[in-house]
Structure 1
């Protein structure tokens, strides 16, 4: 089971990214599980349930779990990930997925996942927060395996310089991959999937028929 942690500020598009990737990989024969973290409600899990379980029937109900952590978002994914680890064990018992997407509660650029919880970490930013963000650094931006800058379609509306963001991301991440996308229009998503295919070994997984099959 490949555990992919997804984190970033509130509203950056973490849930949208999970929904997009789930549809892509399920259609290719990968068994996907989803684990969400919210501080005070199961809002993200309920949204995913409505979209991917109830409406589009992309994944069965047992492949989705929503946690309400009740505290600082990064505590449940870094300092004490035991609640998430138990939830992963439950998902594995229920459906034995090939990949689990673990969504953190919205947090800042200093958040990251414990290595005991996630094998691969994606940090999501969006252009509406301003083009300064990649250059600000922070361990979420600099140490994540993949930086996804979302909502590039609205860059002109918020005076965000995408070239500056690309240059800053390349500088602070020192060769680690970055991808600029619009999950709304689809721009950049082909590159996103190509990067993740290589980073996660998706083709090898499919050749083996999936770990959970």
Structure 2
């Protein structure tokens, strides 16, 4: 084996991006790539159940070299691949780090999920959770581990608030209360200062990670929830208890 092939690639900061369908996870990643690509070497892993739609969107946006954007097709509930068994994503991240060594940041986008989706700390070093104002001004008050304990909560598309009768300041205040003071940012791609604030948060996170001062935190597992079978005649209760099997029937 050559010396090059036995060299361990540099470990990038791994940042997870979760949130419900349509809140703007991919556009959040695009915003970060545009803002930070001149400072950091960035790679992206997207998750979809059956497609590579999010990866194709990011490639079409031209935010990174196309080869640094890769898709994982999970074939199962989105949270399974970011929480219960992270093997597919972990291998994808490690392959990306090896192929484009050195990378500074790898962004891992979850498939669209519910309000409690969280990444396992064995997969990512930190995670942000994305809501949007079109989901309703009260959504931040609904809580759950994703909203309450992700490292950062992004309230996205704030430019749309007037069109959906949402008071942005009230929503941000509710979010801050639900998170007991943890970081919350209102963001719109049409308001550059908000994207700058998001980029500054990631920049500081990377500084702390590089200095050895960042410790990944576990937001806690998702709440149990029911999955119906395709025929609608049955299903199973999906639990996320750490000491128990992933599925209870």
TM-score of the pair, normalised by structure 1: 0.88
SS at match of 2:84: coil
Are 1:178 and 2:187 matched, yes or no? no
Q: Deviations over 1:8-54 (max 9, x none)?
A: 111111101111111211122x10000000011100011112222xx
Q: Quick one: which of 121, 125, 130 aligns to 1:119?
A: 125
2:99 alignment counterpart: 94
Aligned CA RMSD, in angstroms, stands at 1.7
Selected match of 1:43 from 53, 56, 61: 53
* Equivalent residue in structure 2 for 1:10, among 21, 44, 48: 21
In 2: Cα distance, 1:204 partner to 1:3 partner: 12
Aligned residue in 2 for 1:82: 87
Aligned length: 199
Asked which structure has the greater RCO (Cα within 8 Å, sep 6+), the reply is: 1
Partner of 2:65: 60
Corresponding residue number in structure 2 for 1:148: 154
Once residues 187 and 177 of structure 1 are traced to their aligned partners in structure 2, the CA distance between those partners, rounded to angstroms, is: 17
CA contact (8 A) 2:31 2:195 kept: no
Aligned-residue offset at 1:64: 1.6
Unaligned runs of 5+ in 2: 1-11, 212-249
The question of whether the paired residues in 2 share the 8 Å contact of 1:63 and 1:94 is answered with: no
Listed one character per residue, the Cα deviations across residues 146-168 of structure 1 (whole Å, up to 9, x for unaligned) are 00001111101111121221221
1-structure distance, mates of 2:210, 2:108 = 22
C-alpha deviation, 1:187, in angstroms: 4.9
Following the alignment from structure 1 to structure 2, what is the Cα–Cα distance between the partners of residues 155 and 61?
33
In 1: Cα distance, 2:158 partner to 2:37 partner = 26
Contiguous gaps of at least 5 residues in structure 1 = 53-57, 206-213
Compare the two structures and name the one with the higher helix fraction: 1
- TM-score under structure 2 length normalisation: 0.76
Shift of the alpha carbon at 1:196?
2.3
Question: Rg larger in 1 or in 2?
Answer: 2
- The 2-side partners of 1:203 and 1:82 are apart by 23
Given the alignment of the two structures, is residue 133 of structure 1 paired with residue 139 of structure 2, yes or no? yes
The aligned counterpart of 1:193 is 199
- CA contact 2:32–2:198 (8 Å) conserved in 1: no
